[in-house]
A and B are shown apart, each in its own frame.
Chain A
Amino acid sequence: MSMKPRTMFEKIWEAHLVRPPTADTPAILYVDLHLVHEVTSPQAFTWLRERGLKVRRPERTVATMDHSTPTTPRGRDGKIPVLDSAAAAQIATLEKNCADFGIELHALGTDGQGIVHVIGPEMGVTQPGEVIVCGDSHTSTHGAFGALAFGIGTSEVSHVLATQSLLQQPPRTLAVTVEGQLRPGVTAKDIILAVIARLGIGGGTGYVIEYRGSAIRALSMEERMTVCNMSIEAGARAGMIAPDETTFAYLKGRPRAPQGAAWDRAVAAWRQLPSDPGAAFDREEKFDASALEPMITYGTNPGMGIPISGDIPSATNATGEKALAYMGLQGEKRLMGHKVDVVFIGSCTNSRLSDLRAAASVFKGRKVADGVRVLVVPGSQAIKKAAEAEGLDRVFTEAGAEWREAGCSMCIAMNGDQLKPGQYAVSTSNRNFEGRQGAGGRTFLASPLTAAAAAVTGRVTDARDLV
């Protein structure tokens, strides 16, 4: 019997159908891993209590605290001080919910704590072939392992807590093929910013993206996570990359990865996941990696990106004018050389060890420019420790940057780390929406190399020009 060639998405989708869609009802999709954080879960637990429901699969649920937690260095007592009473209440609520419902929690101050999308892969709970959800749009990060991973709302968080399942309409599939070799100084972040600049912020709506091609295959797992992370920034429901030897090497020996004979069985199954030759995607977009430049955004959504040496496009409609006015920029001018007040290196996009190493390579032997505030925020406590073991923290602090505790920090500005009105920041995070990094703040999104180059020059700078 010959089977129709299937995409990786179709294989994972079909393997998780509790019930296929009918004319009247959506599919019921089973969830392997549910990640939980403090901001989008409290109401869901409240509804469970109101209805007298239990968490169906607490062992498939992992919680952490990252969004509203401070990243200020620890006090003498080794504790991270939470000054904001609303944040403290939210943190206490998650602690109570996890205790009451039997959910594993990586609480503030513990070794396992970190940004939810950073710790899942680190622990090895993120695995190929899984359906992974979280009340967070950057859940797409986990797709880097060949998982179907997507963000859900708080109502859906309650659905998954109570039933381990979700109602889903089937998405369409989009192949983003990136062939060729990146030039030195061009990174995974530049790939994804270029993809979003072409697709537009709504261009991927309704799609699951599979990133493929030689340039994607050549990326490390950390770089693949950077790419998949920002799929939502093109409106896509998820982004995924086929698992391969790079994936298996990353996972092998992680605390929650299968061990021994179970490992061999798992790898054999994971090898079946990649899209079959000839599998049909609903749409394809092709990119030439060798033509890509370091990218930076100039506007108020992540689709407003340009090569760093390029001109800011002039506005073509009222929305574009509003964006340039907010940013205090003019079309037909270069962004290069623009003054920068703050540099943020962190977030679930670019806070992993390789990102910190890239930034440190620029800081080494240099100083942060006068008047510039630089925050370097590791994505997890484990990354913090690993970075300190290699002395990266000293490279940052000796240059004049702040070395912080793990968390979302200035990516979301609800934890004390934020821009002041009017300030310009180069950030390695994923969103440059108005006020995202603090009311009135203005964000240029870029890679860790570009961010570090801005830190030491105080201007938007092409890191390749630093000698």
Chain B
Amino acid sequence: MDKIDSITSKTVALPVENVDTDQIIPARFLKATSKVGLGSKLFADWRFDAEGKAKPDFVLNRPEASGAQILVAGDNFGCGSSREHAPWSLTDYGFRAVISTSIADIFRNNSLKNGLVPVVIDAASHAKLLAAPGAIVTISVADRTVTLPDGGKASFPIDPFARYCLLNGVDELEFLLSQDKEIAAFEKQRA
């Protein structure tokens, strides 16, 4: 995994609450056996009409959203299905972080394993970001902060291990594999 120290990008605002992973990537696109190319299906039913034409009013289809790597979304982002296809489609599309006032459990876990930084901030700071879509902000994983359009900063929680993995590009599976002795001892003691 690539190391992530900080991300600076313009934002795109999606002020919808409870965005579930069925919206992020509808189930009919889950028949793939690889994770490549899912970005083209991101938010498929919000981005495209029944004929597959881009809906001009959807925020990701507006010219000013192009190139944004930070998605600012409403509360409880990523709820519902455990499909890891959700962060896969977001990262494949070009997103590197999601900011909200809360992020669903499984989605947050899945994001961390794919270099998509889940950022949970207080409602007042979140409102500032929603009110200024397109603002250039910096998320610092090292400092656990995000800059705000008014020059302020909001801090966000991230558990020390997740932060360590992002900063050092460590893959959790490598870490678990390194615990082979402990796992074997546990199995032996239970047998």
Contact = CB atoms under 8 A, between A and B. Distances in A.
Interface in B23-39: 23, 26-28, 30-35
B104 interface: yes
B140 interface: no
Interface string A13-53: 00000110001111010100000000110110011000101
B15 A318 contact: yes
A159 B173 contact: yes
Contact of A153 (B31, B45, B80, B84): B84
B92 interface: no
Interface string A232-244: 1001010000000
Contact of A136 (B26, B35, B82, B173): B82
Contacts of B23: 433-435
Given A155-B84, A155-B114, A46 B22 contact: no
A18 B186 contact: yes
B82 A155 contact: no
A384 interface: no
Given A26-B159, A153-B110, A433-B80, A237 B105 contact: yes
Contacts of B16: 318-319, 322
A424 B84 CA distance: 29
A412 interface: yes
Best-surrounded residue of B76, B80, B105 (most CB of chain A within 10 A): B105
Interface in A234-262: 235, 237
B83 interface: yes
A169 B102 CA distance: 17
B132 interface: no
Interface stretch (A86-94, A363-371, A375-383, A396-404): A86-94
Nearest to A320: B17
Interface stretch (B5-13, B61-69, B145-153, B175-183): B175-183
Interface string B50-94: 100000000000000000000000111001111110000000000
A166 B179 CA distance: 11
A154 interface: yes
Contacts of B82: 40, 135-137, 151-153
A352 interface: no
Contacts of A153: 82-84, 106, 109-110, 113
A436 B22 CA distance: 7
Contacts of A439: 26, 28, 45, 50
Contacts of B114: 155
Interface residues of B, number: 51
A402 B36 CA distance: 37
Given A165-B179, A201-B76, A436-B22, A46 B160 contact: no
Contacts of A24: 160-161, 164
Given A26-B161, A202-B75, A202-B76, A158 B84 contact: no
B102 A19 contact: no
B68 to A, nearest CB: 21
A201 B32 contact: no
Given A24-B160, A153-B84, A167-B161, A158 B173 contact: yes
A434 B105 contact: no
A43 B22 contact: no
Contacts of B110: 153-156
Interface in A134-157: 135-137, 151-156
Interface residues of A, number: 67
A80 interface: no
Contacts, number: 173
Contact of B183 (A152, A164, A303, A433): A164
Given A18-B183, A46-B34, A201-B79, A165 B176 contact: yes
A156 B22 contact: no
Contacts of B122: none
A200 B171 CA distance: 34
Contacts of B33: 42-43, 46, 89-90, 93
B148 to A, nearest CB: 22
A29 to B, nearest CB: 10
B143 interface: no
Given A151-B106, A155-B172, 20 more contacts: A24-B164, A40-B84, A42-B33, A43-B35, A51-B173, A68-B30, A89-B33, A155-B84, A163-B180, A164-B183, A165-B179, A167-B172, A167-B175, A201-B76, A205-B105, A237-B106, A319-B18, A414-B31, A431-B81, A435-B23
Interface of A: 18-19, 23-26, 28, 30, 39-40, 42-43, 46-47, 51, 53, 56, 67-68, 84, 86-87, 89-90, 93, 135-137, 151-156, 158-159, 162-167, 169, 201-202, 205-206, 232, 235, 237, 301, 303, 317-319, 322, 412-414, 421, 431, 433-436, 439-440
Interface of B: 15-18, 20, 22-23, 26-28, 30-35, 45, 50, 74-76, 79-84, 102, 104-106, 109-110, 113-114, 159-161, 164, 172-173, 175-177, 179-180, 182-183, 186-187, 190
9 A-B pairs with the lowest CB-CB distances in the bound complex, closest first:
A202-B76, A153-B110, A86-B31, A42-B33, A153-B84, A155-B113, A151-B82, A154-B84, A319-B17
19 contacts: A28-B176, A28-B182, A30-B183, A46-B33, A56-B183, A89-B31, A137-B81, A153-B84, A153-B109, A164-B183, A201-B76, A205-B102, A319-B16, A414-B28, A434-B22, A436-B27, A439-B26, A439-B45, A440-B45
